[in-house]
A and B are shown apart, each in its own frame.
Chain A
């Protein structure tokens, strides 16, 4: 591998200041390259929205951060240390299956604490934690649903409980994989507001994967687009499949400041959506790697080469 860092002056400083630092990450299944040299460094408190065409590997990247899968090469650091198998530092909300079907809504929220305690410890803190959980449920307008099983809740209510459940364990970073994609538009907007509210006051770092560009541009303080639609010096015919790279990395708003829903109606917003749609989602429009819009102050890229082939054992 050849290294040449571009974009930032001091990579070490960036690395230590970030909560999540991803460098030179490749992911291949057999000969099939999915992620091609991902470099991404995320500051604490950032709401990082990740978009990309379907099959570009954005969910794969999330699973690498989660520890559900391992990188082929490259490093993923959380607070400076390499990540391992999933643990309570990284919360996760999926599109579905986030809730345990055999537990009622309230018990789902409390389950994380329960799992980490001995029964006598749990007995001592049960009342206090239940009250805390009920505060969250009340804010979500769900105090009357605390004793329902997940299958008795609507899709939107289930995702509310799932978000509360993940936050309640106080992770360092919250990963979300298309959390609102199965919801109808009304429930979806409610959820977006609810999540932004919680994010603003908790100062949590969120890594939010979605296929919906408008959702990403509205929710994120930072917008990252992954795409396999680009061109470089390699002969496309030689590559089994072109792996996705970060093709767009934009600073949208300051950390800790959620956008108001009105922003969606502005001309700027529309222009932004159009630009990203062209750069990342249009198979006919292939930017050269040197022309990517990587304008975020923390954006960097290393030039390296992947020797290819098998996963290391």
Chain B
């Protein structure tokens, strides 16, 4: 008896069909765009809503290869670098703080009593609601934007690491003590290495929210950055810049996600058993 190819719980699509299926929704989306764009431009060659691929390539190339006459910088690359710097600083600091806080809260009952309710309370505050406060306190340059990303990510990471640490068998703590580990040895040499892959996975999932906060902050007060450019171009309805920028952001996000996933699989082979 053969397995069904496509439908049902027991389906086995096979390698060839698998990749066809993977490509299908992408192909559909691209075709739908091209057809709609072609139709619209046939009616009105100056329509801005759905620019042709050539137009988008031209606009992107202009931003990527011609320096801005005022600053002498290439806007596309400058936007990319400054956005990634903000994102990186915010998410890395959130990951480090979230890891340390989450682990210690789960391991030390005293700290758990002290911090758990407070962290939960803080995590419920919508970060965008305090964005004006951050701008007032830290000014409108880099600090406020990095802190927004940090605040938006750190509590989610803390709570996830907390739960992951609690889920480790208690026997491991006793076991480590019986091998002569000190209390700090248990936390930082037994528990921490086992939580590291979870930290990378949590960070992966938190990146989506981090992008949201980055673009929101850049849209409000900035002089460069991917989010800044998109919101600037909105005023001119320059879809030929906005759409490539959205694709570029998505591509960067996807690459980061894939990179982290491959890193976890390579560095922690015992984790995804």
Binding site for B on A (CB under 8 A): 66, 68, 85-88, 90-92, 94, 97-98, 100-102, 111-112, 115-116, 149-151, 165-166, 169, 171
Q: Are A98 and B193 in contact (CB under 8 A)?
A: no
Q: Are A94 and B180 in contact (CB under 8 A)?
A: no
Q: Are B193 and A102 in contact (CB under 8 A)?
A: yes
Choose from A92, A100, A102 the contact partner of B174 (Cβ within 8 Å): A92
* Chain A contact residues: helix, strand, loop or mixed: loop
What are 24 A-to-B residue pairs whose CB atoms are below 8 Å? A66-B174, A68-B174, A85-B177, A86-B174, A86-B178, A91-B178, A91-B179, A92-B174, A92-B175, A97-B175, A98-B175, A100-B194, A101-B194, A102-B270, A102-B271, A112-B180, A115-B182, A115-B185, A115-B189, A115-B190, A116-B180, A151-B273, A169-B179, A169-B180
- B269 interface residue (CB < 8 Å to A): yes
Q: Chain B residues near A91 (CB, 8 Å)?
A: 178-179
Known contacts A149-B269, A149-B270, A151-B270: A100-B177 contact under CB 8 Å: no
In the complex, A102 Cα to B177 Cα: how many Å?
Answer: 17
Q: Chain A residues near B269 (CB, 8 Å)?
A: 149
Q: Are A102 and B172 in contact (CB under 8 A)?
A: no
Q: Chain A residues near B271 (CB, 8 Å)?
A: 102
Q: Are A88 and B179 in contact (CB under 8 A)?
A: yes
Choose from A88, A100, A151 the contact partner of B180 (Cβ within 8 Å): A88
Q: Chain B residues near A100 (CB, 8 Å)?
A: 172, 175-176, 190, 194
Shortest 9 CB-CB contacts between residues of A and residues of B: A112-B179, A88-B180, A86-B177, A97-B171, A97-B169, A149-B270, A116-B180, A151-B273, A115-B181
Distance in Å: Cβ of B103 to nearest Cβ of chain A: 15
Binding site for A on B (CB under 8 A): 169, 171-172, 174-182, 185, 189-190, 193-194, 268-271, 273
Distance in Å: Cβ of A297 to nearest Cβ of chain B: 30
Q: Chain B residues near A102 (CB, 8 Å)?
A: 193-194, 268, 270-271
Q: Are B178 and A66 in contact (CB under 8 A)?
A: yes
Q: Chain B residues near A88 (CB, 8 Å)?
A: 178-180
Choose from B172, B180, B193 the contact partner of A115 (Cβ within 8 Å): B180
Q: Are A87 and B194 in contact (CB under 8 A)?
A: no
Choose from A66, A101, A111, A115 the contact partner of B270 (Cβ within 8 Å): A101
Distance in Å: Cβ of B164 to nearest Cβ of chain A: 13
In the complex, A21 Cα to B183 Cα: how many Å?
Answer: 27
Q: Chain B residues near A101 (CB, 8 Å)?
A: 194, 270
Choose from B174, B179, B268 the contact partner of A111 (Cβ within 8 Å): B179
Q: Are A90 and B181 in contact (CB under 8 A)?
A: no
In the complex, A150 Cα to B271 Cα: how many Å?
Answer: 11
Q: Are A87 and B270 in contact (CB under 8 A)?
A: no
In the complex, A68 Cα to B177 Cα: how many Å?
Answer: 10
In the complex, A68 Cα to B271 Cα: how many Å?
Answer: 27
Write the chain A residue with the least CB distance to B271. Answer: A102
Write the chain A residue with the least CB distance to B197. Answer: A102
Q: Chain A residues near B190 (CB, 8 Å)?
A: 100, 115
Q: Are A94 and B175 in contact (CB under 8 A)?
A: yes
Write the chain B residue with the least CB distance to A117. Answer: B180
In the complex, A86 Cα to B180 Cα: how many Å?
Answer: 9
In the complex, A86 Cα to B175 Cα: how many Å?
Answer: 8
Distance in Å: Cβ of B264 to nearest Cβ of chain A: 12
Q: Are A171 and B178 in contact (CB under 8 A)?
A: yes
Q: Chain A residues near B185 (CB, 8 Å)?
A: 115
Write the chain A residue with the least CB distance to B195. Answer: A102
In the complex, A147 Cα to B176 Cα: how many Å?
Answer: 21
Of B178, B190, B268, B269, chain A has the most CB atoms within 10 Å of the CB of B178
Of A86, A91, A149, chain B has the most CB atoms within 10 Å of the CB of A86
Write the chain B residue with the least CB distance to A165. Answer: B179
Q: Chain A residues near B189 (CB, 8 Å)?
A: 115
Distance in Å: Cβ of A68 to nearest Cβ of chain B: 5
Q: Chain B residues near A150 (CB, 8 Å)?
A: 270
Write the chain B residue with the least CB distance to A111. Answer: B179
In the complex, A86 Cα to B174 Cα: how many Å?
Answer: 6
In the complex, A66 Cα to B180 Cα: how many Å?
Answer: 13
Distance in Å: Cβ of B273 to nearest Cβ of chain A: 4
In the complex, A149 Cα to B175 Cα: how many Å?
Answer: 18
Q: Chain A residues near B176 (CB, 8 Å)?
A: 100, 115
Q: Are B171 and A94 in contact (CB under 8 A)?
A: yes
Distance in Å: Cβ of A50 to nearest Cβ of chain B: 18
Write the chain B residue with the least CB distance to A168. Answer: B179
Q: Chain A residues near B179 (CB, 8 Å)?
A: 88, 91, 111-112, 115-116, 165-166, 169
In the complex, A166 Cα to B177 Cα: how many Å?
Answer: 11
Choose from B169, B171, B180 the contact partner of A87 (Cβ within 8 Å): B180
